[in-house]
């Protein structure tokens, strides 16, 4: 008996950054492609991640600008902030981007199917009663916020809901110590809320360079965020004037809202992976090989749910590499070395390459160059804010293997540094480069004294 023909060459589950890129490129290469999405086009980044977050960061930074302007001669009261205006204008922008993603898929001929897809077998997908057969299936459903199990957890918000609250929370507790928690602490502090950020560990931003972590904590506290380390909520109770939160050290606080940002897990609960031989790794992410193939030959996965760098540009690169490998001439390989990243905390963090601890384990002796300084702007604004830059150099080869910055525009500056590090720039290359004056970025090419080795 002949096998049932395939409806599609590729069926993509999830229209986030990685899924859309894979579907669009595969379709442009001539593949018959379908993509299913049950929430919103563009995934986490466009809808409840990078894009709205950055818009809210811009909004929150105005308050600091209004205050600082007095030192430059500007007089008068600062404008009042209106939460509904920001929220609703953000919604309109996201809707515009959703439509763009649809057009990006439709242009090369990909078929968009609305609904939650689940696997029936390794080459069959069900989308709310519609059944499709595909030669290859790509899972790109991303991750989903995780809520810890504690009394009252149903009163906690996640990053999915925080952007669209009906009322602005004047008192906000943020639980978590990663970049998402830290970014939202800066956002709501800047918009005028009283913010407490609680983290169970000794120091937040685990995984970043220790100097960055310590310096950022110092600067965040200056902005008015109440950072509390070595503590975690143990219960939440609603009351007439807010939520009473009791911490593990038995201290209490009352807030209007609680944002939980304690991690994300693969969004795979109802995909029916049991109908295939797809396996998970020990961390609960989908296990794949270097070609994004799972332990089921016809099923692939990429993006956040495979447990690598959970960054939009990484998912885009993986989607591109997958499509060209499976439906084109190949040649596109994702290189995970020296991936730059930015944290839009206040102040910003930018980083690329090794942390100092990682570098010592990998290379042994290092030359460390470190600089703290007061940004030129604040010589007149009077604001007590400092910036920090750090270069990590392999002592034997003199190659620069890590660059870290805390300060304004860190992400913009570190993008250029990432190119230099990927090209193998040495400390001498940095030294011979003439700086742009007066800028913060020139500090990176004028560091001369070794801070430690």
Residues with catalytic function: 437
Helix 17-28 with 312-327: angle, nearest 10 deg: 30
Cβ–Cβ contacts within 10 Å for residue 369, how many? 23
31 contacts 6 by C-beta, under 8 angstroms: no
Backbone angles phi, psi at 347, to 5 degrees: -80, 165
Query: What whole-number distance in Å separates Cα of residue 351 and Cα of residue 365?
Result: 21
Cβ–Cβ contacts within 10 Å for residue 224, how many? 12
60 contacts 346 by C-beta, under 8 angstroms: yes
List Cβ neighbours of 274 (8 Å cut-off, separation of 6 or more): none
- Name the residue among 338, 290, 347 with its Cα closest to residue 311: 338
List Cβ neighbours of 74 (8 Å cut-off, separation of 6 or more): none
Query: What whole-number distance in Å separates Cα of residue 120 and Cα of residue 126?
Result: 7
List Cβ neighbours of 82 (8 Å cut-off, separation of 6 or more): none
């Amino acid at each position: 008996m002949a096998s049932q023909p395939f409806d599609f060459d590729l069926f993509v589950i999830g229209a986030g950054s990685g899924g859309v890129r894979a579907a669009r490129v595969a379709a442009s290469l001539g593949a018959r492609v379908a993509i299913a999405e049950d929430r919103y086009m563009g995934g986490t980044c466009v809808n409840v991640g990078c894009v709205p977050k950055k818009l809210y960061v811009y909004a929150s930074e105005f308050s600091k600008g209004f205050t600082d302007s007095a030192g430059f001669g500007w007089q008068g009261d600062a404008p009042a902030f209106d939460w509904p205006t920001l929220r609703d204008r953000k919604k309109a922008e996201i809707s515009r981007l959703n439509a763009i993603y649809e057009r990006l898929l439709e242009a090369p001929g990909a078929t968009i199917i609305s609904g939650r897809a689940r696997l029936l077998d390794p080459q069959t997908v069900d989308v709310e009663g519609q059944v499709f057969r595909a030669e290859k299936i790509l899972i790109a459903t991303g991750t989903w916020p995780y809520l810890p199990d504690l009394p009252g957890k149903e009163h906690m918000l996640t990053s999915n809901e925080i952007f669209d609250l009906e009322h602005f929370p004047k008192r906000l507790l943020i639980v978590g110590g990663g970049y998402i928690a830290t970014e939202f602490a800066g956002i709501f502090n800047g918009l005028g809320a009283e913010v407490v950020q609680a983290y169970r560990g000794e120091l937040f931003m685990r995984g970043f360079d220790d100097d960055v972590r310590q310096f950022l904590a110092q600067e965040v506290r200056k902005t008015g965020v109440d950072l509390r380390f070595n503590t975690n909520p143990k219960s939440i109770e609603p009351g007439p004037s807010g939520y009473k939160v009791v911490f593990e050290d038995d201290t209490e606080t009352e807030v209007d809202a609680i944002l939980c940002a304690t991690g994300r897990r693969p969004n795979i609960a109802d995909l029916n992976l049991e109908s295939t031989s797809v396996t998970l790794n020990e961390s609960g992410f989908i296990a794949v090989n270097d070609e994004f193939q799972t332990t089921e030959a016809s099923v692939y996965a990429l993006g956040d749910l495979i447990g690598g760098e959970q960054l939009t540009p990484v998912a885009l690169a993986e989607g591109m590499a997958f499509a060209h490998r499976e439906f084109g001439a190949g040649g596109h390989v994702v290189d995970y070395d020296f991936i730059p990243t930015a944290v839009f905390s206040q102040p910003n963090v930018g980083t690329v390459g090794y942390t100092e601890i990682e570098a010592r384990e990998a290379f042994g002796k290092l030359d460390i160059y470190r600089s703290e300084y007061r940004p030129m702007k604040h010589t007149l604004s009077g604001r007590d804010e400092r910036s920090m830059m750090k270069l990590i150099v392999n002592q034997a080869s003199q190659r620069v293997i890590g660059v870290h910055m805390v300060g304004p525009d860190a992400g913009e500056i570190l993008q250029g540094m990432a190119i230099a590090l990927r090209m193998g720039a040495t400390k001498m290359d940095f030294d011979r480069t003439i700086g742009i004056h007066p800028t913060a970025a020139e500090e990176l090419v004028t560091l001369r004294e070794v801070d430690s080795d």
